[in-house]
Structure 1
Amino acid sequence: MAPAALPVSAAPHSRFVVVQPIRPKLCAGCRRGPLAMLILEDAAPRCLDCADLGHLVFLARGDTALTRRAREESGLSAVVVRFNRRKGRYERQGVLVEEPALAQAEERCLADAESRRRRRIRDARRRAAQDARFAEAFAAEILRLFPGCPQDRAQEISAHASLRGSGRVGRSAAGRALSEGAVVCAVVASVRHLDTPYDRLLMNGLPRYAARRQIAAAVEARLRAWRDTGVGEEDTGTR
Structure 2
Amino acid sequence: MVTSSRRTAAALAPVAAVAAAHVAPAATWLPVVRRRFPRLAGVGDPAHVALTFDDGPDPGSTPRFLDALEELGVRATFFVLGDGVVRHPAVVRETVRRGHEVAVHGWSHERPWLPAPGDDVRALARAAGAVRELTGRCPRWYRPPYGILTSGRWAAARTAGLRPVLWTVWGRDWTPGATPASVRAAVTAGLRGGGTVLLHDTDRMAAPECWRAALGALPDIVRRCREAGLSVGPLAEHGTAPP
What is the TM-score with the length of structure 1 in the denominator? 0.23
Q: Which has the larger radius of gyration?
A: 1
What is the TM-score with the length of structure 2 in the denominator? 0.23
